[in-house]
Amino acid sequence: MPKENVDRAINKASNEAANLQEVTFEGYAPGGVAIFIECLTDNNTRTVSNIRAIFNKRGGNLGTNGSLAFIFDHRGVFTVPKGKLDPDAFELEIIDAGVEDIELTEDVFLITCAVEDFGRVQKKLDEMGVKVENAQLQRIPNDTKKLDLDAAQKVLRIIEEFEDVDDVQYVYHNLEMTDELAKAME
């Protein structure tokens, strides 16, 4: 392959990466379930068209930016394996870094903090030598919406469609995941 073809491909890829922009979409699925979508795109028109098409095709509606801000809190979320950590001692030591909530489920600590404390919590975990399984900023719903099994499965299919769009990074929703729904998903 000629060197100029390789150079052209590298330049094209680096220019596309520089042109990426973050965009968010908010809307409602059938049953009043709120959906918040975070995207990273190089073509905003294409992304808006894809997201709007899914909402329209599946009986939902795309809202304006900020219309669901009251439903979702933007929080830092860390997943830390329990391992040999003493839960009480770990909680006392990490709380000073700005942690708002620590929940121990099975063998995993789920730690939440304010967005502005994300870096401090990450630094404290690093200083403690704690292995972090996952660390990211997430949108957490303030309350959830419970639907019957059939309607909930339809909403989950819509969420899967959003996740299949190449530009979509994360899809957040306030659908309550009941035991019945979890069992049906298996």
The CATH class, in words, for 73-141 is: alpha beta
Which pLDDT value is given to residue 14? 60
**Residue ranges of domains in the chain:** 3-70+142-185, 73-141
Structure tokens at 63: 């809202």
Counting every residue written for the chain, the total comes to 186
pLDDT in tens, 120-150: 999 999 999 989 999 999 999 999 999 988 8
Please give the C-alpha separations between residue 86 and each of 82, 90, 109, 110, in angstroms, as whole numbers: 8, 6, 11, 15
- Residue 168 near residue 39, CB atoms below 8 Å: yes
Please give the C-alpha separations between residue 113 and each of 80, 116, 135, in angstroms, as whole numbers: 14, 8, 11
Half-sphere exposure of 8 (CA within 13 A, CB side): 5
Which pLDDT value is given to residue 13? 61
List CB contacts of 117: < 8 A, sequence separation 6 or more. 76, 97, 98, 99, 100
pLDDT in tens, 5-20: 666 666 666 655 557 8
- Residue 110 near residue 79, CB atoms below 8 Å: yes
At the second CATH level, the architecture of 3-70+142-185 is 2-Layer Sandwich (3.30)
pLDDT in tens, 166-181: 999 999 999 988 878 7
Alpha helices in 81-176 (DSSP H): 87-94, 118-128, 149-164
- Residue 131 near residue 81, CB atoms below 8 Å: yes
- Residue 75 near residue 112, CB atoms below 8 Å: yes
Which pLDDT value is given to residue 160? 94
- Residue 145 near residue 175, CB atoms below 8 Å: yes
Which pLDDT value is given to residue 66? 86
Topology agreement, domain 3-70+142-185 and domain 73-141: yes
